[in-house]
Chains A and B, each alone.
Chain A
Amino acid sequence: MTHIVTSYASELETLSSSVTQMGGLVEAQLSDVMDAVARRDLALARKVIDLDARIDVYNHEIEADVMNLLALRQPVAIDLRETVCAMKIAHELERIGDLAKNIAKRALVISQQEPLRALNGVIRMGRISLMRVSDVLNAYAQRNVAQAKSVWGADDEIDELYNSLFAEILSAMMEDASAVNACTQLAFVAKNFERVGDHATNIAESVHFLLVGEYLDELRPKGDVTSLTTVPKPDDKAPDPEDKEQP
């Protein structure tokens, strides 16, 4: 079933393909930044940082398209959800892009330090979050409710991984004071991957709303308990990633 007004239909198609393209870019960025961290590839990290500007441009273009559609077509029902969700997803993708850029910046720092054992865990986590992003983008592109729902339901896996990683990094810091800098950076990288997973979950919610028209309104599964994780020493304050703004 297509629109009687073809230009309207093509505008909606353009919008969703812009989102898909933007998603592809973000995927590439995530995958690159993982490689950059794993292989200590500085050039790749810089490329990731540069790529963020393009993602921002996409975001602005999608925003403008959405505004035009709202103003000129007054979409309703599926078209309205399509339009609004495109903007929401673009926004989430833009955030993921920012996180990837942040990870790339930290990769530059980490690459100067001794390699850490926890790195492998972080890479694994990154891979999982990348998978989530890919899955949810596929769900969006193929209008697949089940896939979106499965991404949304699988969020606690990353959270659990993050919790164990966070503990591992903390103990690494305790063991070797000289590794504190690298460990802190790594902890932020892990946190960023965890947040990429959160954004993927948000996108999954949007995709679900787009396709079904209803919100996944049960409480989102929450497995992140790091704010409660402390080192055994009572006077040592746990580093709270939320307090420190990324440089």
Chain B
Amino acid sequence: MTKADDWVLKRLRRRKRRDAVFEALGVGAVLAALGALLWLLLSVLGSGVSAFSQHFMILNVVVAPEVVSPDGARDEASLRKANYRRLVQQAMEARFPQAVSRSDRRALYSLVSMSGAADEIRTRVVRNPDLIGRTIAIAAPTSDDIDQLLKGRIDRAAPEALRRVNDRQIAWADALVVTGEIKRKFNTIFFTRGDSRDPELAGIAGAAAGSALALLVTFVLAVPIGVGAAVYLEEFAPKNRLTALIEVNINNLAAVPSVIFGLLGLAVFLNAFGMPRSAPLVGGMVLALMTLPTVIIATRAALKAVPPSVREGALALGASPLQATTHHVLPMAAPGVMTGSIIGMAQALGETAPLLMIGMVAFVTQAPSDFTSPATVLPVQIFLWSDSPERAWEERASAAIIVLLGFLIFINLAAILLRRRFQRNG
């Protein structure tokens, strides 16, 4: 082997080594990213999944007439106003007669979700006033502390003073579990109710409805306007300084912090136009503003990717520019347009900051009934819950994150499926 050959071989080995190092770095980067994602998913799932079930306590409540209708009135208004909390307290006292001291009683009452149980009784009594004087069995959610305790999220070994449940409460709760009076069930409240002051009664239904309404507004505004603007800019507008300037600005808008769009919405929609605060309509409009650049950029990219030969082929056959666009260019660009729109919608779904600016951060217990009623959205709800001190809120925030992620995955999956279909038909 000559010296030159040796040198060449050496160089070759060095090049191969560099290739290997680069590949290893690449694999490492991907693994790190995957690891971070996995960690996030596991931590969210670990703290959130338990919120999908909740402990309920079966209470035999005597609907005492002297508490419900001391004056004998049975009309709905007075029945609604009655002190059902007292009934719950009486039922708890009856179950555990040994608790007599004030502190014991208070500890006893706080086993169950007082407003949850009272609401349950109220609902049933108002619906059927004949229940007055009878004993009814209700399943009320346990208080969030007991729920957390039974889910093992409160350390029983910790000193009594340092935990939110005392030793007696633990003993009662354990006894109820043994007798089967406390059962862990699927948490329907979480999926059917709006926000609440009590974690055990809080649900995402209101926020989800708010998100849906806002997104509907966003979709209806952003996609047609965005696609239309992109088609005009790409296919019809003359290429001059003005359109170049517009293009640069659109690209810049996509990078503008979303909170700025919130400020814009606050200044224009709320202050200038006097539109309602906290409304999904305004939220959707703000999100549409934010999503527009994304939709326009994605659509323009998709239109650019359509080979000019198709356009020319149609024009050469005597199709008008509009026909060439709608018959050939847009259908070919549709998968890209859809991907862009869906990415934009997903972004909008996860957006919090601009909505805070227009008051969608309000505490809303009811699901919005229309586009102008106050509402909140999922990410804002998560933001609110994760800000609250009780442990149960953390659990619920995680659960809401899981739901939000689930929605995003669903949306993206829909996008992929739709694109596949389009491409096959195209």
User: Do A and B share a direct contact in the complex (Cβ within 8 angstroms)?
Assistant: no
Taking beta carbons and an 8 Å cutoff, which residues of A are in contact with B?
A: none
Taking beta carbons and an 8 Å cutoff, which residues of B are in contact with A?
A: none
